[in-house]
Amino acid sequence: MKIRLPHSFAVVAAGVAVWFGCAASAAAIDAAVLPSASAASEPLAELDCEQLSPRDIRDVLATAPAPRIIAISGSFNAVSMDPFARFLVAMGYPAERIRNPADGAWSYASSESSARVAGMIAWHYERDGMVPLRVGYSRVTVVDASTGEASRRDTIIDPSSGRERPALGLKIPYACALATGLLPRFVLGQWTMLGKLHDIPDTVDEFTGFVIEWDPIAGTFPGATPYAATGSAHVRNVTLPATYRHVDLPRTEHLATNPVTRAWIDSYRPDAAVPLPDGAADATNILHAADIWHSVAANWCREAKRLARSRERQ
């Protein structure tokens, strides 16, 4: 695996993407949606978010608020992110923070208007204090994610400050993209994306872009343009083995149920080179699955701590 630092974030999902919105403050959070952050504030404060164990996740994070995750499927909906969403749940993530509140779906179609997705994210943030994805539009109308109905307003009440603010311009802690390439944008006629697909704006803190170098579906080959930050975003480019198949990348559920691959994922660290599990276990897609899970868990931990501290100050 090659990791190039620092580089990456597309404002619209191309191949397959996971967008991760995280808890920001204690104000105006719907207690019916999120668990109490104070219930486990002391053990939560002691966690090392970069070195989480399965017990940390099961006994501490599971009792804390969890950021909402929006999983966006691939172009033409040929690649569904449903299996990957279920992998995250099998690893310990609460299902209700991934499922679409309108219909219970595990993922969102890539054909959804980016403005509509941005409007739903603004609704989530206003309702439960979760910082959502920012999609590149000059004006975003708030969309009730539980019904799918658009409202007439383009502002929200910020749960952090209690003040009115535009629905546009929110910043998220983590986002990643799997096998996103220029070829689908060309085929779909999304010309405006061709020049900025690999530009990662300051509306995300941490971004990881995963590519398969010899990927004819995404149109990525050795020497292709890497993701790059346009400002302060921390960007990583991860090259997956050529044996990985574009359409199979979300197939990761088996990794969470096999004790050998589960243990490897639990001990994975992005900065440590560890031999892959032996051939007795099916380790297909384990590299990006482990990397994304590590980032998801770490951000879950950091944002839960932030929320607990905010509540304690009140």
Per-residue confidence (pLDDT) for residue 119, from 0 to 100: 74
Region label for 99, one of left (φ > 0), alpha (ψ between -120 and 50) or beta (otherwise): beta
Which of the pair, 291 or 247, is modelled with greater confidence?
291
Region label for 53, one of left (φ > 0), alpha (ψ between -120 and 50) or beta (otherwise): beta
Burial of 28 (0-12, 13-18, 19+ CB in 10 A): middle
95 residue type, one letter: A
Per-residue confidence (pLDDT) for residue 167, from 0 to 100: 60
Per-residue confidence (pLDDT) for residue 31, from 0 to 100: 39
- With beta carbons less than 8 A apart as the criterion, state whether 4 and 236 touch: yes
- Residue 249 to residue 272: CA distance in whole angstroms: 22
Lowest mean pLDDT among 21-30, 34-43, 115-124, 142-151: 21-30
pLDDT band at 12 (very low <50, low <70, confident <90, very high): very low
pTM: 0.78
pLDDT band at 152 (very low <50, low <70, confident <90, very high): low
List of E strands, the chain: 2-4, 16-20, 22-23, 69-72, 130-131, 143-144, 149-150, 155-157, 164-166, 172-178, 199-200, 204-212, 228-229, 234-240
Interval 204-214: pLDDT, tens: 899 999 998 88
Write the CA distances from 79 to 84, 127, 196, 246, 279, integer angstroms.
Answer: 11, 30, 23, 8, 27
Q: Which residue has the tokens 């009730």?
A: 144
What mean pLDDT value characterizes the chain?
Answer: 75
Interval 99-131: pLDDT, tens: 988 899 988 877 676 677 767 777 777 776 656
Residue 61 has pLDDT above 90, yes or no: yes
Which of the pair, 152 or 40, is modelled with greater confidence?
152
Please report the sign of the dihedral spanned by the C-alpha atoms of residue 93, residue 94, residue 99, residue 101.
negative
Work out the average pLDDT over 236-265. 93
Work out the average pLDDT over 187-196. 55
pLDDT band at 244 (very low <50, low <70, confident <90, very high): very high
Give per-residue burial for 267-299: e unless 16+ CB within 10 Å, then b. Answer: ebeeeeeeeebeeebebbbbbbbbbbbbbbbbb
- Residue 246 to residue 301: CA distance in whole angstroms: 30
